[in-house]
Amino acid sequence: MLKEKVSIIIPLYNASEYLKETMHSVLSQSYTNIEIMVIDDHSTDDSFNKALEFQSNTIIVKRNKGKGACAARNYGFELSTGEYIQFLDADDILSSDKIEKQVEALNGSKTELAVCNTVHFSGKPEDGKCVDQAYVYSTTKPEEFFINLWGGYALPMHMIQTSAWLTPRALIEKVGFWNETLAKDQDGEFFARVGLQSSGIIYVPEVKNYYRKHSTGKNIASQKKEIHLNSIFKSTELKAEYLFSKTESEASKRAIATQYKHVAIDAWPQYKNIFYEAIAKCEALGGSPYNPVLGGKVIEIIKRVLGWQIAKSVAFYGRLILNK
C-alpha cells in the first residue's frame, strides 16, 4: 500500500534571501511521497525567478491568482493533490523527519491533526528557543487544547505557528479554505476552525518546526496598523463562534475574553474605537486577568503603579516625540 501523498504549500513574497534554505529543508525530508506548490504573491524582488530554479515534475511554481498569503495558500491547495497538507512559510524550516513522523502518527486518520513544537530563531536554527512545550500535546478534546492555548486556564495565552501542523485534506474540505478577508491572525482563525472540527490532535514531540523571527518589523506577524487590528478583532469573533459551538464553560469564556483583551491592549491608545469595542466584549465575558509586558523597567513600574493604559500611553507618545 502506497503511503499518502503530502502536498507542501509555500506562499512566497519577497523571501529571496531565505527561499533556498526553506526549499532545502523540504527537499531533504525523509518522507519522499511529496509534491510542492510554491505560490509567488507578486513579489517585487527576485523571489519568483529563484523559485523557478526549483521547478520540476513534483515542484509547481505559480504566481498567485489573487493577492495575499491566504489567497496564495488557497491557490496552492486548489492545485494540490495530496491527502495531507503541510503549509510552510517561505522563510521557515522543517526538521528533516517532520513530515514522515507526523504522517506515521496520523496513521491514515483523516479527522485528526498532527502538531509539533516550534523553535523560534533569528540566526542559526539550532541556536533558537522553543517556548511552547506547555501548550502542545495530544488530546481527543480539541476545545480544551484551544482553551489552554488562548489563556483560559492557568497559563498565559500563546500561539502555534502555521508550519507546526499537518492537516488532512478532507478536514480542510469539510471546514473551508483560508479566510482571504483577514489581514492578520489568519493562521489563528484557520487552525481554530480546522482544529475545533477535528476529532483530536496528535502531538509528535521528536520533530520540530523552525520559525524565523525578523527584527525589522516588516513581516505580517509584527504589523499592528488599524487594518491588522480590525482583522485580529474579526478573527477573535470567529474563534469565539467556533469555540462556543463546542463549549460555553467558564474557562472558554475566559479564553475568549483574554483574546479580546489582547486586541484592546494592542489598539490602545492609537485606535480607541477598536479598544472600546474589544474591551466591552472582554468584560461581557467576565473579563481577563491577562497583564501584558509593555517594555523596559520604567514603563513596567508605571504599569504597576498607574495601570497598563497609562503606561502604554506614556510609551506610545514617548516614541512619537523621540521620532519627531
pLDDT tens for each residue of 174-193: 999 999 999 999 999 999 99
Residue 179 included in any domain? yes
Across residues 151-157, what is the average pLDDT?
A: 95
Identify the CA nearest to 110 among candidates 135, 87, 85. Answer: 85
Residue with cell 522553543: 130
DSSP 127: G
pLDDT number for residue 265: 96
The model's pLDDT over 99-145, given as tens digits with 9 standing for 90+, comes to 999 999 999 999 999 999 999 999 899 999 999 999 999 999 999 99
- pTM for the whole structure: 0.94
Give the mean model confidence (pLDDT) for residues 221-236: 86
CA distance 266 to 81: 40
pLDDT of residue 323: 77
- Give how many domains the chain has, as a whole number: 2
Rounded average pLDDT over 3-16: 97
Over residues 65-96, the pLDDT tens digits come to: 999 999 999 999 999 999 999 999 999 999 99
Q: Same structural domain for residues 151 and 279?
A: no
Clarify whether residues 106 and 199 are in a common domain.
yes
- Shared domain for 32 and 159, answered yes or no, is yes
Question: Are 214 and 287 in the same domain?
Answer: no
In this prediction, residue 221 carries a pLDDT of 45
Domain containing residue 159: 6-220
Domain closes at, from 198, 220, 242: 220
Same structural domain for residues 270 and 127? no
Last residue of a domain, one of 220, 235, 265: 220
Q: Compute the distance between CA of residue 256 and CA of residue 238 in angstroms, rounded to an integer.
A: 10
Say yes or no: 113 and 262 in one domain.
no
